């Protein structure tokens, strides 16, 4: 019986990892690992491990009316012996006991009456009823009993202005449930509406229409958007220049649905990489539950120093996804995500099948963000379980990328990212990722070092293994309107990153890497941005080039 074995790896982002004596496991991965046709999928999971981890958008602020106090004649003076409340549904008279004690037994003039109503309204709002108001109506005060009418702020109607849709109305409709509205629920519902594909909540305010409370929400919709990205951080056999096109379409068939399509290729060596991805998702209820279908397909025909080896790769993936918001606020949010997917990877040498991995896996995870110590923390925890079904690759399969990797593996992946302003336009960013595994893993499930967000001085998958940890740190400075305003804004930064991966049993390719460097990110305007970076490998030469020369990374992106 195979005994699960978890080990722990850790490192500091700024520490240079000293070279170690090479063991069998520390030898570089074989050539087939470096031209994995599932590379784009693995890079996306490494850099942003949840489907919808876009930077959180704040809710539009709710404009709230001040407390309503009906005017009294200037010479009004009332001796108050007791105070009664009308209109209370959720709150209790005891919630205002201290306010009552401060006003009974006194003769109140118009100013004091206004203060009383204002304090009652403020207390109701402090209890979370954001639209509450208090009114002292004209009345005959007999035996010294004053009545204060409290409106706890019930929403009777929602008026969606602008690009309204059934999905937006469905997300907001639970607010008009006949009960007083709380700030937490109003904020949650506005954010859920803003999470809809292509929807942005611009403004919201609460008004009175006769005896009805009306929440007015102004919404804009952008049902088609896209982005083109050119970058040169690929490897020589697949690139290094790569071109990516993303197109997002909303409200295609029903309100609340979306289709996202991605295509990646190598523009100057067109046949080296073709990758396509499509994801269709639809919101199915007012709580934000989203169901999705996702599929990818890719083909590689490596060039450069691997061209003579006549290697080719083919990969596809199909899965179903579930996304459920568990907690949604501006300062903190939490989502649950699950996925059931089947991946098939084939690699050929000289036209003959040399490798075939087939992985059926169930994944569940939590993703969240929270305001923390003056900054914003984003974090993800994902648990994956391999399943022995649908002809999944089994232990000892001669065509598997690892002959010691079973189908029924378990991995735990942790990812975190923290950004904080330091003042004077300076900020810091630190991030880390780690993976633990119970068993040896097939190539597509391994954790890799190199390229992307971590180990920028090295190429993709320079080291890979069953388990590992990596971290990076950046010191950044925002430069407003440099070059005489030709560029709208820029960010200068310096970084250091490092990591180590290890293998269970007989795996190859583990080891430690570190790199450092710096660069500039620019936003020129009209959706155009350009990034330029120098990344220096600190743990020896890159496999791809055979040297440790600095690497010049370029990224140009245009949104439309």
CA distance 534 to 548: 12
pLDDT of residue 76: 75
Phi, psi dihedrals of residue 292, rounded to the nearest 5°? -145, 155
Asked whether 380 and 47 are in contact (CB, 8 A), the reply is no
pLDDT under 50: residue ranges of the chain:
1-24, 50-59
pLDDT of residue 353: 96
Contacts of residue 219, defined as CB under 8 A and 6 or more positions apart, other chains included, come to 160, 161, 162, 163, 164, 168, 193, 199, 200, 201, 202
Residues 300 and 432 in one domain: yes
Residues 444 and 304 in one domain: yes
* CATH number of residue 163's parent domain: 3.10.20
Asked whether 27 and 342 are in contact (CB, 8 A), the reply is no
Residues 390 and 248 in one domain: yes
pLDDT of residue 475: 98
Residues 381 and 399 in one domain: yes
Residues 206 and 237 in one domain: no
Residues 301 and 253 in one domain: yes
Supply 96's token pair: 């205002």
CA distance 243 to 234: 10
Edge-to-edge strand ranges of the sheet holding 145-151: 82-86, 145-151, 133-135
Residues 171 and 123 in one domain: no
Residues 301 and 198 in one domain: no
Predicted TM-score (pTM) of this structure:
0.86
Residue 2 lies in a domain: no
Residue 85 lies in a domain: yes
DSSP symbol at 444: G
* CATH number of residue 117's parent domain: 3.10.20.310
DSSP symbol at 182: P
Residue 12 lies in a domain: no
CA torsion angle 45 258 231 451 (round to 10):
0
Closest by alpha carbon to 256, among 169, 330, 157?
Answer: 169
Residue 26 lies in a domain: no
Q: How far are the Cα atoms of 312, 355, 394, 470 from residue 414, in angstroms, in the given order?
A: 32, 29, 26, 11
Residue 10 lies in a domain: no
* CATH number of residue 386's parent domain: 2.40.160.50
Asked whether 463 and 513 are in contact (CB, 8 A), the reply is yes
Asked whether 457 and 517 are in contact (CB, 8 A), the reply is yes
Residues 446 and 509 in one domain: yes
Residues 247 and 369 in one domain: yes
Residue 1 lies in a domain: no
Phi, psi dihedrals of residue 108, rounded to the nearest 5°? -100, 130
Residues 72 and 202 in one domain: no
Residues 304 and 166 in one domain: no
Residue 15 lies in a domain: no
Using the 3D structure, point to which of 101, 133, 151 is the last residue of a domain. 151
Domain count, the chain: 3
The dihedral of CA 439, 444, 445, 447: what is its sign?
Answer: positive
pLDDT of residue 10: 33
Asked whether 7 and 415 are in contact (CB, 8 A), the reply is no
Range of the structural domain that residue 120 is part of: 62-151
The dihedral of CA 212, 213, 218, 221: what is its sign?
Answer: negative
Residue 233 lies in a domain: yes
């Amino acid at each position: 019986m195979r005994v699960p074995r978890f080990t722990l790896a850790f490192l500091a982002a700024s520490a240079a990892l000293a070279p170690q004596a090479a063991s069998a496991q520390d030898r570089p991965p074989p050539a087939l690992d470096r031209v994995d046709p599932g590379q784009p999928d693995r890079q996306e999971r490494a850099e942003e491990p949840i489907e919808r981890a876009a930077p959180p958008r704040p809710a539009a602020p709710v404009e709230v009316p001040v407390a309503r106090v009906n005017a009294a004649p200037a010479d009004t003076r009332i001796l108050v012996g007791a105070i009664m409340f009308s209109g209370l549904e959720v709150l209790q008279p005891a919630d205002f006991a201290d306010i009552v004690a401060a006003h009974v037994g006194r003769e109140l003039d118009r100013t004091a009456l206004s203060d009383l109503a204002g304090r009652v309204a403020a207390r109701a709002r402090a209890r979370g009823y954001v639209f509450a108001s208090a009114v002292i109506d004209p009345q005959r005060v007999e035996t010294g009993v004053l009545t204060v009418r409290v409106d706890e702020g019930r929403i009777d109607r929602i008026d969606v202005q602008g690009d309204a849709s059934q999905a937006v109305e469905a997300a907001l409709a639970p607010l008009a449930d006949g009960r007083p509205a709380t700030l937490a629920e109003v904020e949650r519902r506005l954010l859920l509406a803003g999470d809809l594909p292509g929807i942005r909540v611009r403004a919201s305010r609460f008004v009175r229409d006769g005896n009805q409370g009306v929440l007015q929400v102004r919404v804009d919709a952008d049902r088609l958007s896209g982005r083109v990205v050119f970058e040169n951080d690929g490897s020589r056999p697949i690139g290094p220049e790569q071109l990516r096109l993303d197109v997002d379409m909303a409200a295609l068939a029903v309100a609340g649905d979306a289709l996202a399509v991605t295509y990646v290729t190598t523009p100057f060596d067109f046949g080296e990489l073709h990758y396509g991805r499509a994801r269709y998702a639809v919101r199915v209820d007012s709580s934000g539950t989203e169901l999705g279908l996702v599929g990818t397909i890719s083909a590689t025909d490596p060039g450069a120093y691997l061209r003579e080896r006549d290697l080719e790769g083919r990969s596809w993936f199909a899965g179903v996804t579930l996304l459920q918001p568990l907690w949604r606020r501006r300062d903190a949010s939490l989502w649950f995500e699950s996925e059931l997917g089947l991946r098939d990877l084939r690699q050929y040498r000289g036209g003959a099948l040399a490798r075939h991995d087939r992985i059926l896996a169930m994944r569940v995870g939590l993703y969240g963000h929270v305001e923390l110590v003056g900054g914003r923390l984003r974090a993800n925890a994902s648990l994956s379980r391999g399943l022995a079904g649908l002809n999944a690759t089994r232990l000892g399969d001669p065509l598997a990328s690892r002959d010691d990797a079973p189908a029924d593996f378990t991995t735990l992946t942790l990812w975190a990212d923290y950004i904080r302003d330091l003042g004077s336009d300076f900020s810091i960013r630190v991030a880390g990722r780690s993976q633990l595994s119970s068993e040896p893993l097939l190539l597509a499930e391994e954790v890799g070092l190199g390229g992307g967000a971590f180990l920028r001085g090295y190429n993709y998958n320079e080291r890979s293994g069953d388990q590992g940890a990596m971290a990076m740190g950046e010191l950044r400075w925002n430069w407003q309107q440099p070059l005489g305003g030709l560029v709208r804004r820029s960010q200068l930064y310096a970084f250091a990153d490092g990591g180590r991966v290890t293998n269970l049993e007989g795996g190859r390719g583990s080891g430690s890497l570190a790199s450092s460097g710096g660069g500039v990110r620019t936003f020129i305007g009209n959706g155009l941005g350009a990034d330029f970076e120098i990344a220096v490998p600190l743990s020896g030469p890159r496999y791809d080039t055979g040297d440790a020369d600095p690497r010049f990374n370029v990224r140009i992106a245009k949104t439309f």
